[in-house]
Amino acid sequence: MPLNPPLHSWRGRRVWIVGASSGIGAALAHALIERGARVAVSARRIEPLAALGAEQVVAVDVCCAQALRSAADAVCAAFGGLDLAVYCAGTYAPMRATAFELDVALAHDEVNYRGALRWLAAVLPPLLAQRDGHLSLVSSVAGWRGLPQALAYGPTKAALINLAETLHLDLREHGIGVSVVNPGFVDTPLTAANRFPMPALLTPAQAAQAIVRGWERGRFDIHFPRRFTLGLRLLRALPDRVYFSATRRITGG
């Protein structure tokens, strides 16, 4: 049985994507516009958003709670409500403990996690008033367990996964679906910072198709590509001693 009401019949469905200027967010906007959804897109940089062909374009900085509230109000007023809200904003820089930079780690927390909390404060009131809708947070398999190079990034994604799990428990009885998206490697401006081979690398368009399929099937944890993520899920279940040894051996970390 699906953990969420499946999202079918995209035509006319009202969607707001935060973090749509590039990568997965932009690809999601394209995919849903093609399916006939009414799409609003937001990011700090408005120029890339204008090229997406969305019905609503709202510039927003996820580090500003008031800006997110104002953007949510504008989108809901234009659409008459909201069916799907997606938090796809994020930042990423590889980091290890031997080269720890506090400012960089805090910047990850500010955008990846605290930004999601500000977004949540903006979208929860209208969805609770509707007693309908769906919240989706884009996290990462890097949040499942600790990985080399993910000292700044991984903990924020782990926080998003926990947040989504708690939201699902709290909101199901209010008619609101919740999903968390855990991609493997996707070829985006953020992953361009990686200096190691990325297995099972997907394009943003492929990632968007996998996410839409997950929503349509009512999934809570939308992870892909499964030829890669299922192996990571097995690693996730290993005892600590075995996990640390296997991860060092696999990654050379």
Active site residues: 153
What 3-state class would DSSP assign to 118?
helix
Measuring CA to CA, which residue among 111, 100, 113 is closest to residue 190? 111
Instruction: Tell me which residue has tokens 């849903």.
Output: 32
Task: Tell me how far apart the alpha carbons of residues 161 and 221 are, in angstroms, rounded to a whole number.
Answer: 9
Query: The tokens of 129 are what?
Result: 């008033």
Residue pair 175/129 in contact (Cβ under 8 Å)? The answer is no
Strand order in the sheet with 56-59: 56-59, 38-43, 14-18, 84-87, 134-138, 177-183, 221-224
Question: Environment class of residue 108 by beta-carbon count within 10 Å: exposed (0-12), middle (13-18) or buried (19+)?
Answer: buried
